[in-house]
Chains A and B, each alone.
Chain A
């Protein structure tokens, strides 16, 4: 593909014959990143239009009830206290942020009048501040106007550590000033390329000042409106039974014309994922079921009854295997897996390369996860613009044997390779969860064929993922040679996600194993790149940095990515719902409708 070809394609896009997305995909196919493609389009006069959201109904209301089924029940309705996704989704029925993320990782304005850009003077050149213009004429459900004061208040409320909000990280290091009634300036402590965090998406939902002003800090738990939300969203609060149901009715004064379509909304919680899938896909009792953690084979069977469909949107969540950099068998200053030690086997790069060759990712995808897990060589997979084109994965037992043989690991009489008196034997742990145990078995089998002995260990999920500093079986202690789990990426920007390999984040006894770097992998180049990416304002250069960071991690073979996990949702056949893996499922609830 030469320059002329690209120009021709751009002309096609301009004329509307080729979609923007198709163009970007072709550019990625030839090794360019998505933002570069986007920039090229931008410079050629194709606007950075966000994906248009399809919406057909011509009047608000008349859609009857919308029934949502969550197999975990919402327990509270204040977005700043919403610990789990279930609570965030329940809050999203009533509250809205300034903007949300669509499935491609683009910003879409909700309570903002427009997305800040350099062109509309929303973004400062030095990356230190953002000006948000608010939509005018938006009213809270009780009739009071929504203004800049509310936005400023949310910063004061959530940013106060005494409030104990889960959104505190987004607000504690910023300053928010009111410019006029309908615009605010967010000022950062240092140049911040990822400015769209406060007031955006999951942690950006805005609560009304006039109802929460008296409940900042320690008194936050006493606010009566914690259980009786008054928001700006498409549905007004009717009733809430913690751990069971949330009810809402159509907001007649909603700020988007002809929306919402449904007259009432009901969110029912509890039960299990399989029967929730059944209630949507097989009996059609419900319109939507959340987070389908169900084997793909089961989903396909249920889908076959024709009442519903499965929706799959990309996320950054990745199931990966970490080889311990440190030695879990040696205790140093009262802690095992201390950063002062080196793993006796994995410090040999040949062993790591061989293990990487022994992971049959295609089989894991095909036989375990199906559509709900995509085999990958990369740690950072989505949004696409951050996905590295440089890495590949391979499953090759013969090659693994060869590499080990060459590195001096010779087979003993028991068939297990050894070198210098050390046998190739390790313990491999994960949480108890049937796909994970199947996955362990696949890898153990391949390792056996290469003369590596693997002992499998499974820990109850509630222990494995707990933050208990006194329990040695948690994943952050990593008192084991190898472990496998899913790490989640909550935002489309990888900054926070990628800090799990920064040297200063290593989980140790000193930080009660709360550090995010659990594999204890450390690399100077990575640290430098990470710091640079925190300052770099040019999106293309920054994307390139993340790709390089990914490659550094992946090519060292301590971190072995396996499959990335898209978000899976069940919808009734006639429901049209724009879903996104970078925001709550209900982020565009106002635009949901039923096809007739």
Chain B
């Protein structure tokens, strides 16, 4: 096991390196300039913009800029944001709690809906419940989040005046009131994201369970006279979870990466909106840091998924 982990980590290194080179070169080749606002501002002499470019080493050749970035990253320095003139790590860390809260809850909501609905639907395939669940799930993941988001705003904010549609991180309240306000403003973004994800999870869970439930060992378990609940939970779901785990593990990094569209609609200050702002402002150090962290998480969670397989299915060994 230890050997396996080590091997996987060693393989991960070159892929991370390659990813960082690709992102860096792409950003360097993309049009746009972090100081373009300065250059188009008639009040700023070109010399100042030029001096800034030099100070931040923007005129150096790309390989040298990449090496600078890499060395700094290895020292734990994520770089310095051109737009905010502070360290990127501070910017990112500020966004982590909100992102985890909103996106994390939406993933939990998605699983909480998908697991029971998917399993139940698979237990009674082509029943009324299965048909309805399938149809709703189909509609759910066909509708893009920007559409459902706007729909929710129109219904719950504009017409019913129940929920606010601007997410605030600075609510002046204490105790229960604070929790209530925080809960209230998260309802719409969490619901939009959670139901979208939940819809596709449901279909995966259903088909995974359906695959397993017809196998002979399930029939054997039932023939032994085992309680139906035990059959489903211990024998069916556990085996059916393997593909689901892969799916969820691959989605996990997005919990940190945020949801760009939904965050923009509800003004949730998560990492996704930080990324989009940085892209619009050509703030390359921030884009670089966020995408790179994202890449690391993808690799990490892939590894995690592989380890969970071993726990779910003892037949899988790591030799």
Contacts and interface: CB of A to CB of B under 8 A. Distances in A.
Bound together: yes
Contacts of A514: 39, 46
Interface stretch (A17-25, A462-470, A587-595): A462-470
A271 interface: yes
A11 to B, nearest CB: 43
A146 interface: no
Contacts of B164: 285
B168 A467 contact: no
Interface stretch (B7-15, B79-87, B110-118, B126-134): B79-87
Nearest to A239: B170
A75 to B, nearest CB: 4
Nearest to A279: B166
A173 to B, nearest CB: 10
Contacts of A167: 43
B165 A161 contact: no
A162 to B, nearest CB: 7
Contacts of B85: 76, 78, 81, 221, 226
A78 B83 CA distance: 12
A438 interface: no
Contacts of A166: 38, 41, 43-44, 48
A20 B33 CA distance: 47
Contacts of A243: 84, 91, 269, 273-274, 277
Interface stretch (A98-106, A262-270, A291-299): A262-270
Interface residues of A, number: 62
Interface in B4-49: 31-33, 35-49
A69 B43 contact: no
B165 A75 contact: no
Q: Most chain-B Cβ atoms within 10 A of its Cβ — which of A172, A275, A516?
A: A275
B158 A242 contact: no
B39 A268 contact: no
A203 interface: yes
Given A84-B37, A164-B52, A270-B269, A283 B45 contact: no
Interface in A240-283: 241-245, 247, 264, 266, 268-272, 275, 278-279, 282-283
B55 A76 contact: no
B172 A283 contact: no
Contacts of A283: 157-158, 161, 165
A286 B51 contact: no
Contact of A278 (B32, B38, B158): B158
B264 A270 contact: yes
B122 interface: no
Contacts of A275: 153, 165, 265
Nearest to A222: B85
A132 B85 CA distance: 32
A167 B48 CA distance: 10
Contacts of A497: 42
Contact of B94 (A81, A221, A241, A286): A241
Contact of B43 (A65, A279, A462, A496): A496
Interface in B58-110: 80-81, 83-86, 91, 94
Given A245-B269, A466-B32, A227 B48 contact: no
Given A168-B44, A271-B265, A496-B42, A244 B169 contact: yes
Nearest to A470: B31
Nearest to B286: A243
B84 A76 contact: yes
Given A166-B38, A271-B166, A462-B282, 5 more contacts: A75-B83, A245-B170, A269-B267, A511-B46, A514-B39
Closest 3 CB pairs of A and B: A467-B39, A244-B269, A75-B84
Interface of A: 65, 69, 73, 75-76, 78, 81, 83-84, 161-162, 164-170, 172, 203, 218, 221, 226-227, 239, 241-245, 247, 264, 266, 268-272, 275, 278-279, 282-283, 285-286, 462-463, 465-468, 471, 488, 490, 496-497, 499-500, 511-512, 514, 516
12 contacts: A75-B81, A75-B277, A83-B41, A166-B41, A226-B86, A242-B86, A264-B172, A275-B265, A467-B33, A467-B36, A500-B42, A516-B42
